Amino acid sequence: MAGARVVEEILKRAPDQFEITMFGAEPYGNYNRILLSNVLNGSQSATDIFMNPLSWYRENNIRLHAGVRAMLIDRERKVVVGSALKRDALAYSVDAPTDPSSNVIEEPYDNVIIATGSRPFVPPMEGFGGAGTFLFRTIDDCSRIADYARNNRKAAVIGGGLLGLEAARGLLTHGVEVTVLEAGPQLMGVQLDPEAGDMLRKTIEGMGIKVLCGTITTKIARADGQITHLEFKDGSTLETDMVVVSTGIRPITEIATASGLNVNRGIVCDDQMHTSDSDIYSLGECVEHRGQLYGLVDPIWEQANVLADVITGVKPDAAYFGSKLGTKLKVMGVELASMGETKPAGSDDEVVVYREPSKGLYKKLIVRGGHIAGAILLGDIEAAGTLMQMFFTGAKAPARRADLLFGSPTGVALLKASDLPDNAQICNCNGISKATIVDAIQNKSCLSVSKVGACTKAGLGCGSCKSLVAQLLEHYVGEVGYDPTEHYYVPGVPLEKSQLVKEIRNRGIKSVSEVFAQLAGGQEDPSSKVGLASLLKTLWPEEYEDERDARFINDRVHANIQKDGTFSVVPRIYAGVTSADELMRIAQVAVKYKVPMVKLTGGQRIDLLGIKKHDLPNVWRELGMPSGHAYTKAFRTCKSCVGTDFCRYGVGDSIELAQKIERRFQGVESPHKMKLATAGCPRNCSEAYVKDLGAVAIEGGKWEIYIGGAAGGSVRKGDILVTVDSHDGVLLYMGRFMQYYREHGKYLERTYGFVERVGIETLRQILVEDSLGICARLDADIQKAVDAYIDPWDEAEVPAYPAQFSGPELSYALEVAESNG
Ligand code: SF4
């Protein structure tokens, strides 16, 4: 990251001044290491995190030797000597080795910049290395960890800092039990104080990750080559199948040492980023500057600016004096900002603290001499953009300190972005200065926050600087422009959802192809088809004209494709209550079709995994049960607890209610899946509080209806929409909310995002108080959707098209890929 950044800065200042050659030991161009955990958890691909594509090097006439490690700077001959790590890595090189018979590449130089970064530090322990042990530092590490985790049950992450926690998050998505082991007394000891560290630990444990602090690993024990357990200094042990170590970094300085440069803990540099040889510069995590090493991105951006000013001669006296440290992070989905000191230095320091443990909120401010000396924000970092600017610029803190943590009650900005100097960094994640943003606004017609982001990358990291970007827009052009493309329902039709719904209704459009013909100038966009099909089915439950090419494979064959190309079949079991007769039929099908795995699901259902596509119609027929819709964006299941039938605590008949809910709403399509539950009392055994919709019985024969709960990758307790006194009341309000969500939710927006976006108060006004006068219409429309229900497994008898269940085996890989995205 440092190497690429300094080259970008040099090109900005003097595009044609240098012939530039870059060496990189990894067989890629540069990528954003901060986003590696997204690659591990699968939410981004490796190419998504590349900072510059390989074409960028060509376009800027940069000779890139990727997969070639720079070994030595021969200062007498003035050449850099590199060694290709693997022959095939040279496929990425723009130029072949100097001597084709060897792996050695030599490049002459006038100046060299060393940006070798750092490598993971592995604390002393017996048994690290070999199968099952991993570092977490590179794209290749991510794929190795993910591959290994898929076939194992338990993982230990040694290191409770940022990267360790991110590795733990990534591992969790691969279905392994994860334990984080931290040698220090708390998590993230560099960025947090003990109280915030403890709060973060509780939040992370709530996500299902075990955390052990004060635990020093001494040995990784094996039997028959496989890891069995870890041994700790206090004599205790932990069973595990794999170990990921993420315990800090150490500068990579070998090339500097080999070349005779001054190296202490890092490569020693002066304020102009010169090493002990004035033709050789260095920056980034490999550098020691004024005795300090840096492992955050902001100081590296500052060093890149100074180095580029000096080497191009634009500002030969530019100087780097060291950095104040501040960072914004998202640790396992928990937002966190930390800057400066985490503890007061003495009794003269003012400390302002706000804590709300039940919500995982903690805010702390340390003010010294009227200026911010340090701050921690955990759980809510809305104030981080302003706070960091004030911290970095040394601005005077406002008299009302609380305004810094919660914003000014008058709405007046505490800090005016327009007053900042041109070189003030607005976007810390991507190192974008005020001058760059102002240039985009004034000279490149970027008149909305998203356009500024697309042009400069400002706001594309954690996003907390967007309010400052908006302030700059207001100051320089008078208003913040509206960018409609951000709000299109699907990318291929240039309309927001409400406009799209209006046009579809007014024009009576019933098919996806007609939407493209009438509203997108005849231009079909494959990525928009599935979202449009879902919307059309919501608007025209009976008259919708189904076009099978607007469906993913799962919806074409009404089963969930698995990674080997077979399918999972989940029959509907209303409220999770089955019978001996149904169980016998399921067992007979499992035996007859040699089903490799029969599994109970989290939604109280039975999943038959490993069914071949051509067997699907017979399986459905012989099961004699309707589809459980476990493969699509629609109503899925309604779990129930034992309720009044058998439980001594029950105050409401949760089973009967769940059966009524499931029979009524089965198959109703929606922007994303909807999982429901009913609980017979607030003990909540069926987890109704954390479902998309949940009904919980309370004393007095009443039911509380919760909406917007989640207990998957996101965890959220639902909000109470309304309390009713009958099953019919539950069915009425649940249906009304579903219809409103179907009409107003963005495609693939779960209810928890929808409820947060619209706001529970607004939803209560619309759906309970009928503030818009639409409740009767919503009730009628959800009834139409209910009436239009047809069991899709009826297609066992009459296939929708001839090859529905007979696709060639070779298409499976494509179908898996398609269903993934
Ligand atoms: S939620 Fe209440 S009624 Fe239902 S099983 Fe649990 S304790 Fe019993």
| Domain identity same for 46 and 91 | yes
Distance CA 282, CA 285 (A): 9
| Domain identity same for 499 and 538 | yes
| Domain identity same for 104 and 23 | yes
- 94 pLDDT band, cuts 50/70/90, is very low
Tokens of 558: 């009404």
pLDDT digits (tens, 9 = 90+) for 439-449: 999 998 888 88
* Last residue of one domain, picked from the residues 227, 247, 267: 247
Look at the block and give the residue holding tokens 């943003």: 437
Distance 703 CA to ligand 1 centre (A): 13
Which residue among 640, 678, 683 is best mutated to probe the pocket of ligand 1, counting the most ligand atoms within 8 A of its Cβ? Answer: 683
Given a contact cutoff of 8 angstroms between Cβ atoms, the answer to whether 8 and 46 are in contact is: no
Report the atom number in ligand 1 closest to the C-alpha of 647. Answer: 8
The pLDDT value given to residue 270: 96
| Domain identity same for 35 and 51 | yes
Residue 684 located in a structural domain:
yes
Q: How many domains are there within the chain?
A: 4
pLDDT digits (tens, 9 = 90+) for 492-504: 888 888 888 889 9
Give the CATH number of the domain where residue 86 resides: 3.50.50.60
pLDDT surpassing 60 at residue 732:
yes
Residue 441 located in a structural domain:
no
Measured CA to CA in angstroms, residue 75 lies from 111, 310, 320, 583 at distances of 10, 21, 25, 78
Look at the block and give the residue holding tokens 């990358």: 457
Distance 681 CA to ligand 1 centre (A): 5
Distance 654 CA to ligand 1 centre (A): 9
Distance CA 94, CA 80 (A): 16
Tokens of 760: 């529970």
**In 3D, which of 75, 60, 78 has the Cα closest to residue 18?**
60
Q: What would the mean pLDDT of 414-436 be, rounded to a whole number?
A: 78
Look at the block and give the residue holding tokens 């890891």: 227
The pLDDT value given to residue 815: 38
Q: What would the mean pLDDT of 160-174 be, rounded to a whole number?
A: 83
The string of DSSP codes covering 102-129 is SSEEEEE-S-EEE---EEE---S-BT-S
Distance 575 CA to ligand 1 centre (A): 14
| Domain identity same for 649 and 742 | yes
The packing angle between helices 512-519 and 526-539, to 10°, is 110
Distance 701 CA to ligand 1 centre (A): 14
| Domain identity same for 646 and 738 | yes
Residue 756 located in a structural domain:
yes
| Domain identity same for 710 and 646 | yes
Residue 366 located in a structural domain:
no
| Domain identity same for 104 and 168 | no
Given a contact cutoff of 8 angstroms between Cβ atoms, the answer to whether 289 and 322 are in contact is: yes
Give residue 154's domain range: 133-247
* Last residue of one domain, picked from the residues 312, 336, 351: 312
- Look at 809 and 711; give whichever has higher pLDDT: 711
Which residue among 640, 654, 689 is best mutated to probe the pocket of ligand 1, counting the most ligand atoms within 8 A of its Cβ? Answer: 654
Q: Is 88 helix (H, G, I), strand (E, B) or coil?
A: helix
Given a contact cutoff of 8 angstroms between Cβ atoms, the answer to whether 793 and 543 are in contact is: no
**In 3D, which of 106, 71, 78 has the Cα closest to residue 252?**
71
* DSSP E strands, 503-586: 560-561, 567-569
Pairing mode of beta strands 177-182, 154-158:
parallel
Q: What would the mean pLDDT of 102-126 be, rounded to a whole number?
A: 90
| Domain identity same for 195 and 296 | no
**In 3D, which of 272, 292, 291 has the Cα closest to residue 280?**
272
Give the residues surrounding ligand 1 with Cβ less than 6 Å away.
641-643, 647, 649-650, 654, 679-681, 683-685
**DSSP state letter for 549:** G
Checking phi first, is residue 803 left (phi over 0); if not, alpha (psi -120 to 50) or beta?
A: alpha
Residue 426 located in a structural domain:
no
Look at the block and give the residue holding tokens 């040699």: 594
| Domain identity same for 112 and 177 | no
Residue 412 located in a structural domain:
no
Alpha helices, DSSP H only, in 444-525? Answer: 449-456, 466-477, 497-507, 512-519
Range 585-592 contact pairs with CB under 8 angstroms and sequence separation of 24 or more: 585/622, 585/623, 585/624, 585/625, 586/623, 588/622, 589/619, 589/622, 589/623, 592/622
Residues counted in the chain: 821
Residue 744 located in a structural domain:
yes
Q: What angle do CA 18, 22, 24 make, to 5 degrees?
A: 165
| Domain identity same for 747 and 665 | yes
Give the CATH number of the domain where residue 768 resides: 3.30.413.10
Residue 197 located in a structural domain:
yes
pLDDT digits (tens, 9 = 90+) for 249-267: 899 999 999 999 999 999 9
Which residue among 651, 681, 686, 687 is best mutated to probe the pocket of ligand 1, counting the most ligand atoms within 8 A of its Cβ? Answer: 681
The pLDDT value given to residue 171: 85
pLDDT surpassing 60 at residue 821:
no
* This model's pTM is above 0.95: no
Distance CA 28, CA 52 (A): 10
Given a contact cutoff of 8 angstroms between Cβ atoms, the answer to whether 707 and 737 are in contact is: yes
| Domain identity same for 260 and 242 | no
Look at the block and give the residue holding tokens 């800065």: 9
Distance 739 CA to ligand 1 centre (A): 29
User: First CA to last CA across the chain, in angstroms?
Assistant: 29
Given a contact cutoff of 8 angstroms between Cβ atoms, the answer to whether 312 and 13 are in contact is: yes
pLDDT surpassing 60 at residue 808:
no
* Last residue of one domain, picked from the residues 517, 551, 585: 551
Distance 358 CA to ligand 1 centre (A): 24
Q: Identify the residue whose C-alpha is closest to ligand 1 atom 6.
A: 685
Residues paired with residue 177 on neighbouring β-strands, in sequence order: 154
Tokens of 508: 């009576």
Q: Give the torsion through C-alpha atoms of 269, 271, 276, 280, to 10 deg.
A: 90
- Beta carbons within 8 Å of 646's beta carbon, 6+ residues apart: none
Report the atom number in ligand 1 closest to the C-alpha of 651. Answer: 3
Q: What would the mean pLDDT of 336-350 be, rounded to a whole number?
A: 89
